[in-house]
Amino acid sequence: MIVVKDLVRQFKSGDRTIKPVNGVSFELEKGSLASIVGKSGSGKSTLLSLLGALDKPTSGDVVVDGVSLAGLPDGKLTEYRRRDIGFVFQQFNLIPNLSAVDNVMLPMEFAGVRKAARLQRAKELLEQVQLDPEKHSRRTNRLSGGEQQRVAIARALANEPKLILADEPTGNLDEQTGEHIIELLSSLSRDHNTTILVVTHDRSLAQKTERCFRLQQGRLTEEVRTGSRR
């Protein structure tokens, strides 16, 4: 279970103080699939960074399975990212001179998974995200945007994290592949009890999540839904 308590993140920009996240509080049950929508610059990515321990909040706290991130040292935060978090970046953030399979193997290498095991799992994950097997060994800087997106999703799934944070995961994908990725995330949530939080502009994707939050001027509100989306 993830509990977000009055989370604030502010920056100084000259004389001004900007608060992209301003007193955000919410709870997510384990295995839930949720989305955050909002305009560009509304603080969606910043909120995701705070939840993924890529950044530290100015105030407030994120509690994951009873553990407060605010009190953790850098080493523990790294361990948290390695073990519990799967991040899908909007810009993919793959290592350009490594192959697709090597990129997917990286988080497993950091987690100490044996080479043969991580190679097998990396290939399975790339197949799950429907990347052509011929492109598994290709450097990611020679893949298309959609292919890189799929590699990024596969990498996020590598260590079977508790929480997947995805920033526009279908933004670069065609409709059919996008549908497949949404189905993949839904099945992870449903079958593996993985909590998934997706930031998106795609209303159709947001409609398919159990809960949908709207972030506006740093404040989060939940849209009221009717019926189950599972």
Partner 1 sequence: MSVLARSVGNAFRNKIRTAAVVAVLAVAIGLALAMLVANQAVGAKVQELNASVGTTLTVNPAGGQGFEGGGEPLTTAEAETAASVANVTAVVGTKALRLQTSTGSTTGTTQQVGPGGGFGPGGQQATVSTNLTAAVDAGTLGNRNNASGSTGTTTQPARTLPITATGIGAEVDSTGKALDITSGTGLGDYSASEAKALVGTSLAEKNNLTVGSTFTIQDKTFTVAGIFDAGTTFGNNAVYVTLPEAQTLAETPDELSTMIVTVNSMENVDSTKNAVQDALGTTKADVTQGQRNLETAVSSLDSVKNISLIAFIAALATAGIIILLIMVMLVRERRREIGVLKAIGARNRTIGLQFVLESLVLVALGSVVGAVIASLASGGIASALIGSNTTTTAATTTQRGGGLAGAMPNGAVPGGGVPGGGFPGAGGQGGPFGGASQLLTSVTASVSPGVLAAGIAAVFAVAIIGALVPALLTARIRPIEVLRGE
Residue 26: strand pairing partners:
4
Nearest residue to 100 via CA among 66, 126, 118, 72: 126
Mode of pairing for the β-strands spanning 195-199 and 33-37: parallel
13/228 with CB nearer partner 1? 13
| Tokens linked to 139 | 């450097």
Q: How far, CA to CA in Å, does 135 sit from each of 99, 114, 120, 138, 219?
A: 8, 23, 15, 5, 42
Q: How far is the CB of 155 from partner 1 (least distance, A)?
A: 7
Applying CB under 8 A, does 135 fall inside the site for partner 1? no
One residue of 3, 10, 23, 55 binding partner 1 per CB under 8 A = 55
Binding mask 163-202 for partner 1 (x = CB under 8 A): ----------------------------------------
One residue of 6, 27, 65, 109 binding partner 1 per CB under 8 A = 109
Q: How many CB atoms lie within 10 A of CB 142?
A: 12
Nearest residue to 2 via CA among 52, 65, 49: 65
Binding positions for partner 1, 142-161, rule CB under 8 A: 155, 159
- Stretch touching partner 1 by CB under 8 A, among 47-55, 178-186, 199-207, 221-229: 47-55
Applying CB under 8 A, does 74 fall inside the site for partner 1? yes
Classify burial at 115, counting beta carbons within 10 Å of its beta carbon; exposed 0-12, middle 13-18, buried 19 or more. Answer: exposed
One residue of 17, 25, 78, 187 binding partner 1 per CB under 8 A = 78
- Residues near partner 1 (CB under 8 A): 49, 52, 54-56, 74-75, 78-79, 81-83, 85, 87, 89, 93-95, 97-98, 102, 105-107, 109-111, 115, 155, 159
